[in-house]
Amino acid sequence: MLGEVTPTAPRLRVRTVAVPDPGPLVALLPETDALAWVRGGDGMVAWGEVVRHKATSPAEAEEWWTTLVASSDEVSDLDVALPGSGLVAFGSFVFDPDNTSASSGLVVPRTVLGRRGGRAWLTEIGLEAGEQRPAPCAGPVPPAPRGVRFEGGSLTSDQWRAAVSRAVGTIAAGDLDKVVLARDLVATAESRLDPRWLVGRLGETYPRCWTYLVDGLVGSTPEMLVRLEAGLATSRVLAGTIQRTGDDQVDLALAAALSRSSKDLEEHEYAVASVAAALAPFCSALNVPENPYVLELPNVLHLASDVTAAVEPGVTALGLAAALHPSAAVCGTPTGTARDLIAALEHLDRERYAGPVGWTDASGAGEWGIALRCGILDETDPRRIRLFAGCGIVAGSDPEAEWAEAQAKLAPMIGALTTTR
């Protein structure tokens, strides 16, 4: 009957072909509907939209995805199935569904171009029988933002420092061990901000981070919530931070001090424990390093631990992200108390900041980073973007130092917005 709504997912045709090296991936992004997940030259860029699913949680999104995958027809001429090739969805999820006006979702693009370890592929999704799409080609360099002004977010600097003091007081009273408090900053340019410019600058400056663009959420995160490939899950846990000075000798001494700082080691331990506990039910073997290493980024040094796990058959990256979010790196310990304290003290809608962002493929492999060092483009005013940064607060935290740390974490986005070439 005409107009009848079919409850089943659409049946998607998916075709993947090997292609010659396409050069810099982000140069191929078109102006609209662009999606990106890149790191050090590898990754995927995509565009167009075949299907979108508004999700209530990563777990619910996983269910939808499984149904969609089951009803798709795939052909591929790749001799080995590279993770990310074939049917793929990009996604991003809100930090706290109970305290936000924003929504989570998965989007299946029409065209995906990927590269990994020297091999490149092109996937086209939702093709009509016999349809050929034009080959992707690099367009003109997107325009740099002009005349960007920054204005404070939902709390003034004094109010935010006071919130940190209150959090330290609540921790001292024994109500919780750690809470992560974030703040925001609004940037407004003279004309429409082109996210491709931001992706390009972030990817160049932060090649060790995962640079992403999903539905107006743009950033470059150093923190991998979970990556799953061939049954091996990896999570890069960060907590404990020092701002770099730009002087290598001084930074070396700072790195040594960071790796001995009991305040930072304590903060880190909570984050690692929350990830290990969340992964444990899904795996047969779990490796948690005894000590963190220092991850050096251009703006900050972080204490980092790479937790690895061999997972049981049938476990997917999205399923693991559902179990891991929110880790103590972005929420706190214990989770529920920390989430309530965040809602009471931050006066901020985090939207998708600090939520999972990444991709899944049809096999269930995928990468879900934590949306940090990011901004969310304003849907109603394309000149504006809201930037976010937060800090783990423990008993020994000092509000002044936390303010400076959050400022250092805003540096990647501020840099991308104010660089003109």
Q: Which residues are catalytic?
A: 178, 223
256 backbone dihedrals φ, ψ, rounded to 5° = -65, -40
Whole-number Å distance between alpha carbons of 94 and 130: 39
Query: 236 vs 383, which CB is nearer to ligand ISJ?
Result: 236
* Residue 158, helix vs strand vs coil: helix
H-state helical runs in 188-261: 195-205, 248-260
Q: Which of 244, 267, 287 has the alpha carbon at shortest distance from 176?
A: 267
Please, what is the minimum distance in Å from the beta carbon of residue 268 to ligand ISJ? Answer: 8
| Element (DSSP H or E) covering residue 235 | strand 232-243
* In the complex, minimum distance from the CB of residue 42 to ligand ISJ, in angstroms, rounded to a whole number: 23
Smallest gap from Cβ 353 to ligand ISJ, in A, equals 7
C-alpha 65/C-alpha 395 separation (Å) is 42
- Among candidates 344, 374, 370, which has minimal Cα distance to 356? 370
Q: Name which of 233 and 258 has its Cβ closer to ligand ISJ.
A: 258
For helices 399-418 and 157-172, the axis angle rounded to 10 degrees is 140
CB of 402 to ligand ISJ, least distance (A): 8
Instruction: Give dist(CA 159, CA 111) in Å, integer.
Output: 46
Task: Considering the complex, state which of residue 89 and residue 176 has its C-beta at the smaller distance from ligand ISJ.
Answer: 176
If the CB atoms of residues 244 and 409 are measured against ligand ISJ, the closer one turns out to be 409
Query: Is residue 18 exposed (0-12), middle (13-18) or buried (19+ Cβ within 10 Å)?
Result: middle
Q: How large is the C-alpha radius of gyration of the chain?
A: 21
Residue 189: CB minimum distance to ligand ISJ, A: 22
Angle at 47 between CA 68 and CA 204, to 5 degrees: 120
Residues that bind ligand ISJ (CB under 6 A): 180, 182, 223, 238-241, 302, 329-330, 372-373, 389-392, 409
Rounded to whole angstroms, the Cα distance separating 366 from 344 reads 34
C-alpha dist (Å) from residue 209 to 42, 124, 246, 254, 307:
12, 27, 19, 21, 17
Distance in angstroms between the alpha carbons of the first and the last residue of the chain: 56
Q: Which is nearer to ligand ISJ, 72 or 299 (CB)?
A: 299
Which CB sits closer to ligand ISJ, 309 or 342?
Answer: 342
Question: Nearest approach, Cβ of 18 to ligand ISJ (angstroms)?
Answer: 37
